[in-house]
């Protein structure tokens, strides 16, 4: 779609793509409030899960399994929180949502990256909505490389 | 599983079942912070989406479509927020999660039930974590009957 930001991601935004399948792209999120947080974006412009076609639904299943295993293996996640919300699009007077799914890995132990310690203080509770996603660019790059290597191995 | 509350729901808890398929049950949530909020519970004890078998994944797709259409048609929902979190189980020293999925309908207009007005003040934003789910038993019963009738029509 011509005016959809998600259909027209810039090169910079695409830089953090860790994996792609036929129908989906997986990006490391800008927000790293939960280390390894990713977003699954359907390559086709489509507004809701109800409108997925057969192949896209089947691929989503494979991706859920693959990304969850990756986050557990590579970063030590205990579980993953999955959500498909799409609320931001509805701020617009003529909402035209583009399907995407968030995955936040949750940790019962701190994640250590380049000597920096990241703690999931809310473990066992709903993810925080206003948690700081501050992470050094070095640490983000480290997460990006680890996920990308594992997912494309 | 012998000790799993979700495998051993009481008659009272099952009262608010609005639909069941071969592998899944759909219940109207106790929390009605978003009117029509439901929970999809896998009938089998299984800890994550990654462990779903073929039929369960396919049925989930049908349920997502059916429940979303129901909430839009019956209650006027604008969209649905879907989430699979499972955090509460991880408060336990030996977590043994039982797969369930939350669906919160979101509304750009108030829902009116028996003359009572329910407003989605956060529309266009993430669902609130501490929103009051107060609803009269009469209004909850009204929602329950409407969803159950539509889903089983």
Residues A71-121: pLDDT tens digits?
999 999 999 999 999 999 999 999 999 999 999 999 999 999 999 999 999
Q: Given pLDDT bands bounded at 50, 70 and 90, which one contains residue B2?
A: confident
**What is the dihedral angle through the alpha carbons of B41, B47, B49, B54, rounded to the nearest 10 degrees?**
-80
For residues B47 and B99, the answer to whether their CB atoms sit within 8 Å is yes
Q: What is the CA radius of gyration of chain B?
A: 16
Query: Chain A residues with CB inside 8 Å of B82's CB?
Result: 49, 83-85
Q: Is B68 within 8 Å of A85 when comparing Cβ atoms?
A: no
Q: What is the pLDDT of residue A15?
A: 87
For residues B77 and B150, the answer to whether their CB atoms sit within 8 Å is no
Structure tokens at B35: 């009117």
For residues A30 and A38, the answer to whether their CB atoms sit within 8 Å is no
Residue in B80, B94, B103 to test binding to A, most A beta-carbons within 10 Å: B80
Query: Chain B residues with CB inside 8 Å of A81's CB?
Result: 83-87
Structure tokens at B43: 């009938």
pTM of the full predicted structure?
0.97
* A31-47 average pLDDT score: 97
* B9-32 average pLDDT score: 92
Structure tokens at A56: 């896209």
| Partner residue facing B90 (CB), from A48, A65, A123 | A123
pLDDT in tens, A3-18: 898 999 887 778 899 9
Query: Chain A residues with CB inside 8 Å of B129's CB?
Result: 126, 129
Q: How far is B96 from chain A (nearest CA, A)?
A: 12
Spatial distance between the Cα atoms of B6 and B13, rounded to a whole number of angstroms:
10
Max intra-chain CA distance, chain A: 46
Spatial distance between the Cα atoms of A129 and A74, rounded to a whole number of angstroms:
25
Query: Chain A residues with CB inside 8 Å of B79's CB?
Result: 48, 86-87, 90, 97
pLDDT in tens, B99-144: 999 999 999 999 999 999 999 999 999 999 999 888 999 999 999 9
Structure tokens at A57: 């639904």
Residues on A contacting B at a C-beta cutoff of 8 Å: 48-50, 52, 57, 61, 64-65, 68-69, 78-88, 90-91, 97, 106, 108, 123-127, 129
Q: Is B88 within 8 Å of A57 when comparing Cβ atoms?
A: no
Tell me the CA distances in angstroms from B131 to B34, B39, B74, B96, one per residue in order: 9, 17, 23, 28
Single out the residue of B3, B126, B55 nearest to residue A129, CA to CA: B126
Single out the residue of A41, A33, A29 nearest to residue A127, CA to CA: A33
Is the pLDDT assigned to residue A34 strictly greater than 90?
yes
- For residue A89, report the phi and psi dihedrals to the nearest 5 degrees: -60, -25
Is the pLDDT assigned to residue B1 strictly greater than 90?
no
């Amino acid at each position: 779609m011509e005016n959809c930001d998600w259909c027209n991601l810039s090169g910079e935004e695409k830089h953090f793509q860790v994996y792609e399948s036929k129908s989906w792209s997986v990006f490391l999120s800008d927000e790293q409030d939960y280390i390894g947080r990713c977003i699954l974006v359907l390559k086709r412009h489509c507004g809701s899960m109800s409108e997925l076609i057969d192949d896209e639904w089947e691929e989503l299943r494979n991706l859920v399994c693959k990304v969850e295993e990756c986050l557990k293996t590579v970063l030590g996640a205990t579980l993953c929180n999955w959500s498909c919300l799409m609320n931001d699009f509805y701020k617009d007077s003529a909402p035209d949502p583009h399907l995407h799914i968030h995955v936040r890995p949750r940790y019962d132990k701190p994640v250590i990256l380049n000597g920096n310690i990241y703690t999931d203080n809310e473990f066992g509770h709903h993810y925080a909505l206003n948690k700081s996603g501050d992470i050094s660019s070095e640490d983000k790059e480290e997460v990006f490389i680890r996920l990308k290597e594992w997912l494309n191995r």
